[in-house]
């Protein structure tokens, strides 16, 4: 059976909730739908780790280019998966299977509000991914191409649990997204900017915003974003090696906090059940949390009378 036909069958079964009826090869994506933070229906492919490592698998979300879709990541998603990552690639609103007539038109017209709203797609993707079995919530990375890289930087500026970001062909003002401003807000994390020689200016401008930005320019090739796959030798290997180094190994010193506050809590704190699942974030250690601007909570949790301040 042709791969395209197989994929359509798998997608149809996923939509009907019958995916379990079809055996999947280890390297086949698991199509899914989830709700963005604002309720929009978003399509994705999930690649769980081939084997669940002790301590759980690190997670990575992939964000495609303008007028592209999640299938552009196929050359990268399998090496990531083989390296032990749980991988989720999504179709951003207005793209691929996530597009409605309205959102597709907004994307074609480069409507900036629509691109700002894509943060809701990423929030929903994270909420879905961290509920999967066998994953390590404290090890989390993002990879984006072109405007997908801008979205990744914007998200990481707000969510300090992101351990690392890789941007392919980053820009400074794609669709009105201020990537330089976002980079300045990302502390305690390393960022990798990859581009070919014809697009070297933006990566170096971003590097000037933070000492944590690494840049690699491929001088012998010309390709934009995910078009580097199959053109630039070993680009997939470079991404995987960077992410493995930056997410690190599982730890027993995990702490947690809220995306909306600047404090973190130990696991014996009573606040864990008080934080909404959509706001709960994990860090590999107190030192990691503090390097990203969080401080230790002075409260062990709500008192019996409920008079303690919120997390």
Q: Which pLDDT score is estimated for 87? A: 97
pLDDT for 15 beyond 70: no
Q: Which of 77-86, 170-179, 186-195, 210-219 has the lowest mean pLDDT?
A: 77-86
Confidence check: pLDDT of 49 > 90: no
- In three state form, how does the secondary structure of 59-105 look? EEEEECCCCCCHHHHHHHHHHHHHCCCEEEEECCCCCHHHCCHHHHH
- In CATH, what number does 26-247 get? 3.40.50.1820
pTM across the whole model: 0.89
- pLDDT at 98 (0 to 100): 98
Lowest-confidence segment of 47-56, 65-74, 123-132, 291-300 by average pLDDT: 47-56
Residue 301 has pLDDT above 80, yes or no: no
Average pLDDT of 142-170? 98
**Mean of the pLDDT values across residues 42-66?**
93
Q: Kindly give, in sequence order, each residue whose CB lies less than 8 Å from that of residue 303, ignoring residues fewer than 6 positions away.
A: none
In angstroms, the CA 122 to CA 153 distance is: 11
CB of 204 within 8 A of CB of 213? no
What is the pLDDT at residue 18? 42
More confident residue, 42 or 49: 42
Lowest mean pLDDT among 14-23, 92-101, 280-289: 14-23
CA–CA gap between residue 148 and residue 277 (Å, rounded): 25
Mean pLDDT across the stretch 75-86?
A: 94
Is residue 17 predicted with pLDDT exceeding 60? no
Say if residue 131's pLDDT is above 70: yes
Report CA-CA distances (Å) from 194 to 85, 165, 234, 264.
Answer: 20, 11, 12, 33
Residues of the chain with CATH 3.40.50.1820: 26-247
d(CA 180, CA 185): 9
Mean pLDDT of 183-203: 97
């Amino acid at each position: 059976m042709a791969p395209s036909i197989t994929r359509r069958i798998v997608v149809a079964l996923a939509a009907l909730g019958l995916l379990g009826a079809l055996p999947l090869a280890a390297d086949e994506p698991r199509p899914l739908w989830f709700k963005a933070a604002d309720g929009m229906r978003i399509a994705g492919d999930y690649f769980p780790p081939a084997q669940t490592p002790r301590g759980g698998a690190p997670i990575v979300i992939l964000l495609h280019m303008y007028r592209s879709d999640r299938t552009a990541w196929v050359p990268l998603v399998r090496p990531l998966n083989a390296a032990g990552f749980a991988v989720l690639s999504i179709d951003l609103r207005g793209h691929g299977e996530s597009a409605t007539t309205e959102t597709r038109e907004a994307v074609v017209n480069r409507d900036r509000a629509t691109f700002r709203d894509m943060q809701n797609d990423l929030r929903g993707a994270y909420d879905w991914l961290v509920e999967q079995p066998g994953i390590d919530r404290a090890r989390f990375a993002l990879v984006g191409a072109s405007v997908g890289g801008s979205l990744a930087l914007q998200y990481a500026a707000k969510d300090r649990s992101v351990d690392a970001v890789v941007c392919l062909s980053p820009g400074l003002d794609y669709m009105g997204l201020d990537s330089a401003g976002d980079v300045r807000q990302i502390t305690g994390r390393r960022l990798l900017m990859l581009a070919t020689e014809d697009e070297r200016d933006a990566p170096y401008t971003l590097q000037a915003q933070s000492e944590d930005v690494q840049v690699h320019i491929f001088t012998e090739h010309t390709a934009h974003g995910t078009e580097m796959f199959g053109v630039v030798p070993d680009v997939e290997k470079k991404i995987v090696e960077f992410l493995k180094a930056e997410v690190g190994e599982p730890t027993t010193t995990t702490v947690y906090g809220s995306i909306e506050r600047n404090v973190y809590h130990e696991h014996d704190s009573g606040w864990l059940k008080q934080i909404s699942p959509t706001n709960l974030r994990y860090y590999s250690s107190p030192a990691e949390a503090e390097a990203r601007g969080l401080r230790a909570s002075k409260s062990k949790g709500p008192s019996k009378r409920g008079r303690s301040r919120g997390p």
